[in-house]
Amino acid sequence: GIALLRYVYSVLSFFYSTFLSGGVNVKKLGSWAVVTGATDGIGKAVAKELAKRGINIVLVSRTPLRLEETKKEILGKYPTIEIKTVAMDFAAASAADYTRLQSEISKLEIGVLYNNVGVSYDYAEALQNIPEEKINALIEVNNRALVKLSQMVLPSMLERKRGAIVNIGSFYGSISSPFYAVYCASKAFVEYFSKSLSHELQGKGVTCQNHLPLMVATKLAIPNPNRRKGTLFTPSPEVWAASSVSSIGKGASVIPYWAHHLQAAVMVSLPGWLVDKVVYDTHDKIRRAALKKRDAAAKSS
C-alpha cells in the first residue's frame, strides 16, 4: 500500500512539474549565464541550450584550449551572442583563483548560474582504497565550488530581484550508493544545500534548484565511447540539457527529464532493502571488473 502511494505521488508530482508548474523565461532573468564544467557533457550541452535562447555565456572549465574550441563551436551556431571564457581547475582552486573568477563576472548581468562542474570515482571502490587527493577533489569540485559561486552571484541577483541558481546533483545522492560513498554524499550535500538556499531566497525573486539526472550519456557516466549512445532512459547530454533549462523555476528539487522521473518513481516505490541490494550488487560487479582490468594491464606492462 505504501509503495503504491509513493509511486502515485511520484507520478503526480512529475505531471505537475512538467505540465502545470510554470517555468521562467530565462532571458528575462539577465543577459548572461555562467556555466561551470562547460567544455564537455551536460555543461557544454547546457551552454549550447542557453545560447540557443539568446543568452550570453561565461564558460568556466579547466583547459584553455578546450574552452576556446567550445567557444568557437557555439559561436559558429549562435553568432549573435557573446561568450567569455575563464580557465579554472576547481580541484586545486586557491582563494586567488576564486577572486580572479569573481573579477571576470562581477560587472556582468548574471541571470543564471549553472553549477555543473563535478567529478566522480575512476571506478567503484571501497572507501579505504581511495587516494586522499581523489577524496579532496570530490569535495572541492562537487561542493566547495558551488557554494563559492553561489555566494558570488547572489548579491547582484538579489539587488535586481531576478536570477536562478541551478545545481547539478544526482538521484544517487538520495539513495545509499556503496563503493561510491563520497560521491553519493557529495551529491546529498548538493540536495540539501539547494533546498535550504531555495527556502532562504523565498519571495526575493531568485530561485535555487537541484536538478537531478539519473544516467546521461556522458564521459563521466559512461567512460567507454562505444557504449555512449543516447537512449530513452540514457539520454544524450543535449536532450537532458533542454529538459533542464525548461525546468528552471519549477521547484527546489527537480528531475527534469521525463523518463528519469518515471524511473525514479519506480525506485522510490520499491522496498529500501531491495534497492540497497540491487545497487550494492551492481556497483560490486563494476568494482570487480575494474580491478580485473587494472590487474591485467599491470601484468602486461
Specify the amino acid at residue 115.
N
Residue 183 annotated among the catalytic residues of the structure:
yes
122: its cell numbers: 575512476
Q: Where are the beta strands (DSSP E) in the chain?
A: 32-36, 56-61, 83-87, 110-115, 163-168, 206-211, 253-254
Taking the CA atoms of the chain, what radius of gyration do you get in angstroms?
A: 19
What's CA 182's distance to the chain center, in Å?
Answer: 16
Compute how many other C-beta atoms are within 10 angstroms of the C-beta atom of residue 115: 30
Q: Are 56 and 80 in contact (CB under 8 A)?
A: no
CA angle 62, 219, 72 (to 5 degrees): 50
What's the residue count for the chain? Answer: 301
Query: How far apart are alpha carbons 268 and 219 in whole angstroms?
Result: 27
CA-CA-CA-CA torsion sign (121, 122, 125, 130): negative
Give the DSSP H/E element, type plus range, for residue 241. helix 237-246
Specify the amino acid at residue 268.
V
Q: Work out the angle between the directed axes of helices 64-77 and 41-52 (0-180°, nearest 10).
A: 30
Strand partners, 206: 163
Of 123, 183, 192, 257, catalytic: 183
- What residues act catalytically? 183
